[in-house]
Structure 1
Amino acid sequence: MTTKSQFQKIKSGDSKAFEVLFNQLYPSMCVLAREYVKDDGMAEDIAQEAFVKLWNARDRYENITSVKSFLYVMVKNLSLNYLKRDKLGSKFTESLDKEDYYYFNNRIVEEETYRILQQAIDDLPRKSAVVMNLSLQGMRNHEIAERLGVSVNTVKTLKYNSMKTLRVKLKHYFFILLLLLGEI
């Protein structure tokens, strides 16, 4: 998670703090851009450009919430500009309406939820994190056990202990707990 002190470092020009923020949010920004431009390379370019614009305007933002909003909106706008410029999406951009607005907002929530959940899972012990990630990919306990060369009971124990830890860690993110309980 990005802390207020980390954001203050970014505002003052600390490139290492900015790199941490970049590493946390860049994958989500690429996914969002890819939804619009349907091209992995261009999506990466757009996400990088959004971060460059953020770095250049970092002193204008007071807290991390506005930075996240800035990045999401910037990626959306850069993606739409790309589509307009290349005339690949002229029909797409002409047809934008309320549904697109809600779709965009839902994608933001989805990406932010995934980022928070993934960060919490990454903080688990290595084997527990692997089990949880495989579970989220839809693998069953016996498949995970086979893949990792452990017993099904070991997988169940690791998942149980991981869920206890994640419940505490994500207690303020009720919606993520619902996702976890429904998916695993």
Structure 2
Amino acid sequence: MTEKRYHHGDLRAALIAAAEADLAERGVEAFSLRQVAKRAGVSHAAPAHHFGDADGLLTALAVEGFHRFLSAQAAREATAAPDPRSQLAAAGLGYIDFALASPALFRLLFGSNRPDFANPDLAAASSAAYAHLEAQVTAAGGSLADIAAVWSLAHGLADLIAAGRLTSLQGLSPPERDTALAALLARAFPGV
């Protein structure tokens, strides 16, 4: 069997893609630069050259993850009614969509200490995600406490669903599931 070799294109992007595949397959605990290099078909020194160490590569992957997280929310928001409450529910559904589509990346963003959140790129990406939440809750008439409530509920639902623990939603069609989830998300602050 011949090992696939990387020969052209954007090596940095190829390494990030290989890192995501390795993360999804092996988890953050077993993540290593050597495995990523092997998956990308490059020397084991190539990832270190670009990212320094495994945590540096996970940091770069987390930056990409936050961009995709916001894109998942934007995709849902684009199809929702324009009122603030509907947009907020849509963002919550996008949050859940992201967790279901990329559970390992979701855990990296929200449950791992491996990425360096002091890194300027990651700090900017994670701050943009929080600013989006803050702006939506504020537009819907919510307070700082409501921001925490909405985030906690959306995150909790996403985590439970991605882990297969929210069994009451199993068996529902996608539109029925979305309706049920939007109703749950609306409970975060019913007075708005």
Normalising by structure 2, we get a TM-score of 0.30
Higher relative helix content? 1
Greater relative contact order structure (CA < 8 Å, 6+ sep): 2
